[in-house]
Structure 1
Amino acid sequence: MHYVKSKGILSANNGMNLYRGCSHGCIYCDSRSRCYHIEHAFEDIEVKENAVELLNKALRRKRKKCMIGTGSMTDPYIPLELELENTRKALFLIEQYGFGCTLITKSNRILRDIDLLKKINDKTKCVVQMTLTTFDEDLCRKIEPNVSTTRERFNVLKQLRDAGIPTVVWLCPILPFINDTKENIEGILDYCIEAKVYGVLSFGMGLTLREGNREYFYHQLDLLFPHLKEKYMQRYGNQYAIDSPNSAELMRLYHQKCEQNGIVHDNKQIFEYLNAFEEKRHDRQLSLFE
């Protein structure tokens, strides 16, 4: 861990990253890509020491309420969050100022903050986005080694459902020759159905590889799946988009199963929902005698 001072906290789209780098160890992580200019070791978490102060100023200055997002680059619930509580402090400010919020995570540590998530959702809208890639628990521990397993994340989704907090699942990435099976997709979608998620995002059955994350991914394939790297290199070379040979069949399954169970599966519609600020009114109707 190391600290930096930041000049700003919110992007043009009102997203924020309180940390840079990650300790989850997911073998496919796109955030390792060199285009993001993380100059330090990826597991050496960069902490924006003035992030909460900057957020307070930014929210106070905003004239129009909106959704505030976090988690696109670094999971807001990495283990370090239990010590620093920057995500919790940020949620407190978001709730106090009356903004909406959406978070992307793979960790059951989010349940620590369910009190704040409920308060935000009571006033406006709070959506938790959860990534699910691998139904098989043993395989999940191999490709996402330092994070809550898929079963544990499913239990989080159910608790959020019971708390009235809407959820969205990212069904990605799907790794060719590893988890690109009908059984895997059906298992994850069955979890989504039971948890009553609002929507499931999919960008095709595959993953993306570019300079930085490609090298790390191939190194992990050598360690975990001997000889599979050679199969990737022969089939895909240095392609950015890596599609599963089963992509068409699995995408049909994904769309059909979501459609049959009332789960939104149009990416554009889901992102519109995530970005739409909704102010809830709890005014009671006055009686004739008031």
Structure 2
Amino acid sequence: MHYKEYKSILSAKNNLNLFRGCTHGCIYCDSRSDCYQLNHPFEDIEIKKHALEIFERELQRKRQPCMITTGAMTDPYIQLEPRLRITRGALELIERYEFGVAIQTKSTRILRDLELLKQINQKTKAVVEMTLTTYDEELCKILEPYVSTTKERFETLMQFKAAGVPTVVWLSPILPFINDSEENLRGILAYCIETGVKAIMCFGFGVTLRAGNREYFYHQLDKYFPGMKQKYLSVFGDSYICTSPQHNHLMALFSDTCKKHGILWKTEDVFQYLHTFEDKREQLSLF
């Protein structure tokens, strides 16, 4: 890991990334793409120096509280977080200044902050976003090798359900010819239904590949799925969007299931839910 000076932490849309790079090793990670201009090895985590001080100043300058989103580029619960406690510090500031938060992860380490997220949700709004891509546990360990398994993430969602903290699942990406099966989708949807998720974010069934992550992805395909790289090249060439041949069938199953169980599934509806701030402080004062 290494530290780097930054002048700001929050993006214009109030997204918070405390780190750059990741050590979860997911074979499909878009954050490896050259367009993000990481000038260091992806696994050499860049920590934003004085991040919490900068973040606090930015919260203080906000005229009104809003939702803070985190996890778009780097998982906030990477392996270093238990020692660094930077994500913990950011959540404590969000709670202190009474903002809301939507925090995205693939790690059970978020359970450390369950009570804090519960406190935030009691005053404003806290949403736990968990990525689920692969129902098969052994396949999950190949696609997402250094992170909690899908079943462990499911069990984490169950604990947040019991705590009354709303959850959203990111169903992305689904890799053509690898996990784009009806069986895989039904398994993940069953988890979502049981955990009572508010919404499922799905951009379609497929994967995006561009310079940077494409090379890493193909290297992993050669390692774990001999011959699959050639199949991708044959079907998709150098396309950025690689859509599963099963897309239409899976999308119909996905949307029908979400409608049946009252789960938000349209992308615009899910984003609106994640970014809509809720103030529960007046309700609490009545009691």
AA matched with 1:208: T
2:286 is matched with which residue?
A: 284
Alignment of 1:1-12 (within 5 A): 1-12=1-12
CA distance in 2, matches of 1:14, 1:60: 13
SS in structure 1 at match of 2:229: helix
Q: Are residue 102 (structure 1) and residue 98 (structure 2) matched?
A: no
CA distance in 2, matches of 1:90, 1:171: 26
Residues 78-130 of structure 1: per-residue CA shift (max 9 Å, x gap) = 01001100000000000000000011100000000111101100000000111
2:73 is matched with which residue?
A: 73
- Structure number, greater radius of gyration: 1
CA distance in 1, matches of 2:173, 2:3: 31
AA matched with 1:172: S
Q: Are residue 197 (structure 1) and residue 190 (structure 2) matched?
A: no
CA distance in 2, matches of 1:150, 1:52: 31
CA distance in 1, matches of 2:159, 2:204: 28
CA distance in 2, matches of 1:66, 1:200: 22
CA distance in 2, matches of 1:37, 1:105: 22
SS in structure 2 at match of 1:77: coil
CA distance in 2, matches of 1:174, 1:58: 36
AA matched with 1:36: Y
AA matched with 1:31: S
CA distance in 2, matches of 1:97, 1:51: 16
Alignment of 1:146-185 (within 5 A): 146-185=146-185
Shift of 1:61: 1.4
2:116 is matched with which residue?
A: 116
CA distance in 2, matches of 1:182, 1:69: 31
Percent identity over the alignment is: 58
Shift of 1:284: 2.5
1:288 is matched with which residue?
A: none
Q: Are residue 269 (structure 1) and residue 269 (structure 2) matched?
A: yes
Q: What is the RMSD computed on CA atoms of the aligned residues?
A: 0.7
1:247 is matched with which residue?
A: 247
AA matched with 2:193: I
SS in structure 1 at match of 2:285: coil
Q: Which runs of 4+ in 1 moved over 2 A?
A: none
2:85 is matched with which residue?
A: 85
SS in structure 1 at match of 2:220: helix
1:47 is matched with which residue?
A: 47
CA distance in 2, matches of 1:69, 1:50: 19
CA distance in 1, matches of 2:101, 2:174: 27
Residues 6-52 of structure 1: per-residue CA shift (max 9 Å, x gap) = 11011000111100000000000000000000110000000012110
Q: Are residue 224 (structure 1) and residue 240 (structure 2) matched?
A: no
In structure 2, runs of 5+ residues without a counterpart are: none
CA distance in 2, matches of 1:186, 1:115: 31
SS in structure 2 at match of 1:282: helix
AA matched with 1:194: E
Residues 177-230 of structure 1: per-residue CA shift (max 9 Å, x gap) = 100000000000000000000001111100100000000000000000001100
2:17 is matched with which residue?
A: 17
Residues 226-266 of structure 1: per-residue CA shift (max 9 Å, x gap) = 01100000110000000001110000010011111111111
CA distance in 1, matches of 2:231, 2:285: 62
AA matched with 1:38: L
In structure 1, runs of 5+ residues without a counterpart are: 286-290
Q: Are residue 63 (structure 1) and residue 63 (structure 2) matched?
A: yes
Residues 105-164 of structure 1: per-residue CA shift (max 9 Å, x gap) = 000000001111011000000001110000000000001000000000000111001101
AA matched with 1:139: L
CA distance in 2, matches of 1:132, 1:204: 14
AA matched with 2:161: R
Q: TM-score, normalised by structure 1?
A: 0.97
AA matched with 1:282: L
CA distance in 2, matches of 1:200, 1:76: 20
Shift of 1:283: 2.6
